[in-house]
Amino acid sequence: MVLLQSTAAAPRFDSGRAWEHLRQFVAFGPRPSGSPAIEQTRAYIKSQLALLNIPVTEQAWDDTTPAGRIHMVNLIATIPGASRNRIVIAGHFDTKRYREFRFVGASDGGSSAAFLLEIARVLKARKNPLTIELLFLDGEEALGEWKYPDHTYGSRHYVQMAKQDGSLASLKALLLVDMIGDRDLNIRRDANSTTWLTDIIWATAREQKFTAQFLDEVTEIEDDHQPFLEAGVPAVDIIDLDYPQWHTPLDTLDAVSARSLQVVGDVLLAALPRIERRLASPR
Ligand SMILES: [Zn+2]
């Protein structure tokens, strides 16, 4: 009885559940933007959010790419908080298109989407001071070579729409996850990310003794956080690009682990109250 009292609060991040989502995404096969498999992926995400009673809206558009016009759809899931101001937790679910080999993106595209579904379950059961938005992004990958504007289609479209409809003003922070499945997880600080957000997350990881996974080394990452940063939204990218299987046929279940998803889940959930406090009293 006494024990229950201290543990009955919010559920923990369960990497077993996240792993099941990841396994499902990989089973759909290659999931590039505009493919039948990415439609299946979206249907799965929507069905899982429906089970959690979390409303989801589709943000659909056609974008111009080096491979022609492609239909893209972001999914926006909202968990209302005490305030309408919101924190967006985002990741992409598309995989890079390859003709030369079969690319299933277990970490690159699979891990981020799986992570968002599981953290949605945890946050749905929590009392949130700010509204939480889980943003599942389409079109992160380039259709050709990674060169502006052939990448981050989903995040650029989202920010453009948020500017147009005025909802950018209530967007207080973006937490982006990408490629967090690597068995040998090493996430470096991204020089492009907002310093105070990065500091909170790395300090939290250090307290949890995850210094082997969250390294103090600095790198510079171009990713879906950039359109948000350019729009003045504090943003951090949690990404392990130090992944030998990156953009190869070997980015499969063998290269990723549930443990890595657990580490990121534990760190992000412990960092969240600190981020919320900082946003409540901006300096
Ligand atoms: Zn990629």
Q: Tell me, in angstroms, the distance from the centre of ligand 1 to residue 237's CA.
A: 14
Q: Tell me, in angstroms, the distance from the centre of ligand 1 to residue 205's CA.
A: 25
pLDDT for res 281:
80
Q: Tell me, in angstroms, the distance from the centre of ligand 1 to residue 202's CA.
A: 24
Percent of the chain beyond pLDDT 90?
95
Per residue in 20-55, pLDDT (tens digit) is: 999 999 999 999 999 999 999 999 999 999 999 999
**pLDDT over threshold 50, residue 7:** no
Per residue in 142-153, pLDDT (tens digit) is: 999 999 999 999
Per residue in 74-118, pLDDT (tens digit) is: 999 999 999 999 999 999 999 999 999 999 999 999 999 999 999
Q: Tell me, in angstroms, the distance from the centre of ligand 1 to residue 64's CA.
A: 19
The model's confidence at residue 283, banded by pLDDT at 50, 70 and 90, is low
- Give the residue-averaged pLDDT of 189-195: 98
pLDDT for res 23:
98
Rounded to two decimals, what is the model's pTM? 0.96
Q: Tell me, in angstroms, the distance from the centre of ligand 1 to residue 112's CA.
A: 11
**pLDDT over threshold 80, residue 255:** yes
**pLDDT over threshold 70, residue 8:** no
**pLDDT over threshold 90, residue 6:** no
Q: Tell me, in angstroms, the distance from the centre of ligand 1 to residue 263's CA.
A: 21
**pLDDT over threshold 50, residue 5:** no
pLDDT for res 28:
98
pLDDT for res 97:
97
Q: Tell me, in angstroms, the distance from the centre of ligand 1 to residue 91's CA.
A: 12
pLDDT for res 3:
53
**pLDDT over threshold 50, residue 201:** yes
**pLDDT over threshold 90, residue 282:** no
Q: Tell me, in angstroms, the distance from the centre of ligand 1 to residue 142's CA.
A: 8
Percent of the chain beyond pLDDT 70?
96
Q: Tell me, in angstroms, the distance from the centre of ligand 1 to residue 83's CA.
A: 34
Residue 110 main-chain phi, psi, to 5 deg: -80, -45
Per residue in 205-215, pLDDT (tens digit) is: 999 999 999 99
